[in-house]
Structure formats: C-alpha cells, structure tokens
Chain A
Amino acid sequence: MKILLRGGRVIDPASKRDETTDVLIDGGKIVAIDRKIREGAAEDATTLNAEGLVVAPGLVDMHVHFREPGQEYKEDIASGSRAAAAGGVTSVACMPNTDPPLDNDALIAQIVKRGIEVGLCRVHPIAAITRGIEGRDITEMMLMRQAGAVGFSDDGRPVVDARVMRRALEYARLTDVPVISHCEETSLSQGGHMHEGAVSTRLGIKGIPAASEDIGVARDVRLAEITGGRLHVCHVSTARSIEVIREAKARGVRVTAEATPHHFTLTDEACEGFDANTKMNPPLRSEEDRAAVIQGLIDGTLDAIATDHAPHAEREKLVEFDRAPFGIIGLETSLALAITSLVVPGHLDLPALVRLMSTAPATILGLEAGTLKKGAPADIVVFDPNTSWTFEREDIRSKSQNTPFLGYSLTGRVLLTIREGKIVHERKEGRSRIGTGRRSKVEEGEPLGSARS
C-alpha cells in the first residue's frame, strides 16, 4: 500500500528535520520526504492531508506490561498492541514479570512471534535479569539477546542483592543492551502504599519514602560505574535520584533513565479520596519531585518517556487502597499527557518531545525505529498537537481500565498510526481532518482503514 502524507509538520529529531513537507510510504518503508513529491511517484497512493498536523516517527514505549503469558485476564499481546496503536506507539518493550517470567530464550522467542502475529506494533521482549525473577542466579543473557530480548530487567521485583546486580551489570556487557533497573531499597519501602509525606500522614497510609528510590538509584549507578555496564533506570520519580543520575552522567557513567507521564503530571495529592487507580510503584511523589522530573526531561538527565503501562482487572482495583495492586495503564494517554503537561506549559517543544518518546528510547534499546529517514521502516504517528479532548472509557483499548485520568481534559490527540506502512489505528472523527486531501481515495469512497490488519 502506498500512502502519501501531504503537508504535515514533519518532525524527525534523528535527521534534525522539523519542516512542513510530504512523506511518501511504499512497501512498508519511507521512500521519499520532499516538499513536492512528484505527481507520478504518488500516482496510486492514498493521499492524506496532514496540514496542521504533526507527522513524527511512531512512538517507542520502552516500559510496558503485556501480562502474556499467564495473566491474560489483565492484558495480552493483542490487546496491549491495540492500546499501543491507539496511543501512536509503534514499538514497545514489554517487561518479563509474566507467569512464568520471561527468563529463557524459548519464552523470548514466543513473545517475538506473538508480536509479529498480532502485527499492530513491534513487541520487543525485555528478559529477566535473574532466573524466575528471584534475585539469585543471572539468566542466559546471550541466548535471550539472540532470541530477541532488548534489555534485562527484574522490574516489579528489584534485585535486592547488590552482588547479584553487580554480576548482572558485568555479564550483560557481553550483549549490547542495557540492564533496566527498577531501583528500590525494598527494606525501606515494604508495606508502603503511597509516597511518604504530608499526604500519607494525613491519610494514615503507610508511606514509601523517596529515599528508598534514591538509595536504589545510587547503588545501581555506582555498580554500573565499577563494572562499566550499561544501566537504564526505570520510572525515575524523585528529585534526589535525578541528582544522582545527573552527577553520574557528568562523570561518564553509562546510565540512561526514563520518566512516566503520571510522575510529571500528578502528585501524591491525587491519592486523596483513596482511589486505587492513583496507586503505583514508584508512587506519585511531591510537587518538588514532579518539578524535578520535568527539569530532568528538559536538561537531558532523563532520556526517555515511558509509560510503565501496568494493566490490572477492574475487580483487582475495586478494593481498599492498601489491598489494591500497584500500577496504571498508560499507552492510550502518554502522548496527550506529555503534550498537556510538558508542551502546553512551555517546558518542551514538540521536537524535544518526539525525541523523548521515540528517538531516544529507540537508541537506548538499539531498535530500528524512531526515525523518518528515507529507507527507514514506515512507523509513523500523525497527531493534532492542539486539539482538546476528554479521555473516556471508550478511548481505552487495553483490557484493563485502571487509569486515574478518566474524565481528564487533554491536549493533543493521535489521529493516525502507521506501522510498517500499514494503518493500524485511525481516529474516525479524525477522518474529516485527515482524509480531505486532493485526489484522496477517501473522498472517492475507499475506507481509510482498509489496510488494517
């Protein structure tokens, strides 16, 4: 299928492009980016008018939980991929804390295969650091890398033993991918349900001190330093751990880090009311921490935005706050939250945002993604950066609906997601905006989503 995206603002940080131009897609690849694509070249293309819209490389979410195998009632690769496509995400890295955990090459290969079968986004498995995510024996990292793993993580159950973490960082140097650490000193955080501070004191809920993350980050950064290993720090949420990462980067430690939309959008005040959909780990922090996360994204201390998309069934969250599991979904809202919380208030411009949500995470994981260069796979998101909308239940494609953002008014909306040249998501109401190009086949009556797999 040939698609011509005409007249959009094409933002591609990897090729330093930010201009109004046309993009021609054919055979799953980007074949031309030019102000005036020759009439002949686009002869049989579906032409989509992208005037006033942003055309960017498909988003890369390097931290999601797709729950397959084992907890398909929460999410599976098919439903997770639909949620990704709806959010403009064309590549995800899924965490290995499944049941059984992704700790061997056969399981890794299975996830890769399932992702391709579903075909809505590129599903890259992250492999466990330790067998069974038990924190003792490191996994067959080379075999799993060969089978398609893009990193190693015991996310959700931090590696408690510093010596094991040291060996993992050392051994993972055999591969070209990072150890992705959920940094947490669990002896300080265990039993906690929200950020420790004035709000937890007011609500009488046991807190998770910021120091539990600060200490975890400091430990792992230092271990990366002495081993020369590559460390990627998950969902950084505290001001002090950002300082630690900033300082480590200045020293030349091989460390990268990510932040989630919820940590730069909400604070622990959101837990007032005891809604279990405001409960995640790390928890929503203080205003000082939220501001520090934004500053970290601005100054490059934090390299990427990732959702930590963590689906849980409604019944699991419809309980007392201290009995609910940690985690919220995020794929459907990540771009809109980032625009609303970062771009609208003027913290970042759109090219910087595209870098954080696509270019940088692709680079960290070594993916062939995150760019609109000629010849690159046609993984593309088209979004309206200015439109306002209200996030409702029917916008959710995930199997689970555990999000605190229902009813939120958001700015910026994904209208079209293209993966490898095929339209995998298209907003129906967006059709009037997007499908009115000259010579558009849409106008001739061909459904825009006909290529959907």
Chain B
Amino acid sequence: MSSRPAAVRPAPQPMFALRKSLLGIRELEPEEILEILDAAESFKEVQSRMIKKVPALRGQTVANLFFENSTRTRSSFELAEKRLSADVLNFSVSTSSVAKGETLRDTAQNIEAMNVDMIVMRHASSGACHFLDRHVKGRVINAGDGSHEHPTQALLDASTLREKLGRLEGLRIVILGDITHSRVARSNIFLLTKVGAKVTVCGPPTMLPPEVEKLGVRTSTDVRAALKNADAVNVLRIQFERQEEPLIPSIREYAKYFGITQDKLQDLSPGMMILHPGPMNRGTEIEHSVAEAHSETILRQVSNGVAVRMAVLYLLSGGEVQN
C-alpha cells in the first residue's frame, strides 16, 4: 500500500469499525491495524488537552471482566472508557460468583442481561475471548487470554514504534524472552508480520515454542547476533506464573546471557528502541541503567496504551474518525 502514491490512495474503508469484537490481531487485515493506529493518533491529541474527555461513548456501558490480576492494562482500559464517557462496570472476580463455581458462559450472560454493550476481558485460558464472543451478543475486547493474544498491547507497541521511527514496514524487530508463554509476543508477531516488518524471536531454546518459524519469524538464541541491525527490541518479562516447570536454570544465568545490558548494547546503534510491556523485572530481563536510559519510550508505551484502547473502543462502538 505504501508503494502507491499518496495522492491517489483511496480513502481507507473503516473495516475494523464493522467488526463485532477484537479477539486478536490474527483476524485483522493490515488495513484494519493501520485504521486503529490512525484513530489512536486522534486520541493522543485528546489526551494532551486540559479536559481529556470526549462524549463518544456516552450512554454505552463497558464491563471490565478481569479474571487475572492486572494493574496496568485494567487501569488503561478503565481510563480509556472514562475518557470516552462510557459507563464503566468493574467486575471483581475475587468477590464474584465465579468463586462460587459459576461458568464463564453464565457469568458473561448475566452481565449481558444488564444490557452491557461491551465486555473487556482478561482470562487465564487461551481462547477464552473467542469462547465468550460465541456466547454473548455484545462486543468483546480481548485484554489478554492465556498465552494466546494481547491485541491492544501489540497495537500500542506498534503505535509507539511508528511514532518514533515513522513507519512499520521494513522495520527489523526483535522480541526477546519467554516467547512460548507470551501473549504479547504472539500479538506482536501477528501484527508486525502483517504490516511488513521483519521479526526475530530470541530466547533460550526452552522458551521458543515449537515450529514458531511457521508464524513467519526468524529465531535466534544469541541476543548479540539478534540485536545487530535491529531497529527495536521488545523485551518480555519471564512469565513464571505460566510456566509449569522451570525453563531456565537460574535468573542469574538468564540475566547474563539474555538480559539487555549496557554491555550488550555497546556496539549497537544508540537509536535502537527498547520496548517493554511491563511490569519490568530490573536486573533480570533488563538492566537497571538500560531501563533508566530508555524510560521515556517505555512510559510512552503506557500513555499510548490509553489512546490505542480509546481508538479500539470507539471504532467498535460504531464511531468513525474524522481526520
């Protein structure tokens, strides 16, 4: 698409806005990804205003259904919803009927019976959002399902990359860490390969899932080699809570061979971006001084997260973005 002269490019069709739900990046067309990223730019502007609120979702109710602990994503969604003037229902799992043995389907249908328009869900099971979407009439936004997808994280990562580097196509991106258990990795792989970036996944062999090359990525177990000529690296946290068995002998060894340290960055271009979806474990996957030096980017991801989520909520609610 970028090869086409800008002057004759037809106005983009708002395809994403026609969807029922955002379950994953994998289902999206490249044009839809760009549609969301473009809409997010408008909402970045809204966030810089004194009054950071628009009436776009006034009268609509959004339920945040978080079956897994989350601070960042949940706050980000809640803020996005409130800045769009939606009514927000925070469904607290620990005190809910789920603890009494209610199934996900029953929980969701009960929430829907209260005329909720959208459900934002995080869940420990891969595919839980697909399951939910089959059983509710309302819209579903995936806020992270097991080791499967975390689409809004990939969108905010892409938004941050595009903001700093001006494009996505042709970028060389390394995703580093526990790829097997990471939904952030999967959504990033789907997104970046769709928009024409070149992706390398890097980590110890025990953290690279089988046949991951079939997702259109290269693999590496050598951080220094992988980072050479990279435009950006997305550093993942080790998801100990999802690992049923130890995948590395020690954090000490991981930090030495796979952690991002000043030492490893020495010979690389200082312009290489370092992204981190958070929460960071300083001293494990990223050295303290590196985290400090790149804190602007990492915090920018967080700000962009609100804008991207506003864009997703807004477009799904049927809104069109005026440029």
Taking Cβ atoms with an 8 Å cutoff, the residues of A that contact B are 191, 196-198, 200-207, 209, 273-274, 315, 318-323
Contact = CB atoms under 8 A, between A and B. Distances in A.
Interface string B108-119: 000000000000
Contact of A321 (B103, B126, B149): B126
B105 interface: yes
Contacts of A196: 210
B127 A321 contact: yes
Contacts of A203: 126-127, 148
B127 A201 contact: no
6 contacts: A201-B209, A204-B148, A205-B126, A206-B147, A209-B210, A274-B126
B26 A205 contact: no
Nearest to A197: B211
A436 B144 CA distance: 61
B interface residue count range (under 10 / 10 to 19 / 20 to 34 / 35 or more)? 20 to 34
Contact of A320 (B104, B147, B149): B104
A209 B211 CA distance: 12
A279 B244 CA distance: 20
Interface in B192-213: 209-212
Contacts of A206: 147, 244
A401 to B, nearest CB: 16
Contact of A202 (B125, B215, B244): B215
B186 A319 contact: no
Given A191-B244, A200-B210, A315-B103, A205 B215 contact: no
Nearest to B244: A191
B147 A204 contact: yes
Interface string B214-248: 11000000000000000000000000000010000
Nearest to B245: A191
Interface string B136-161: 00000000011111000000000000
Residue of A202, A204, A273 ringed by the most chain B CB atoms within 10 A = A204
B91 interface: no
Contacts of A197: 210-211
B264 interface: no
Nearest to B148: A204
B126 A204 contact: yes
A320 B186 contact: no
A357 B191 CA distance: 47
Residue of A205, A207, A274, A322 ringed by the most chain B CB atoms within 10 A = A274
B130 interface: yes
A272 to B, nearest CB: 9
A319 B126 contact: no
B128 interface: yes
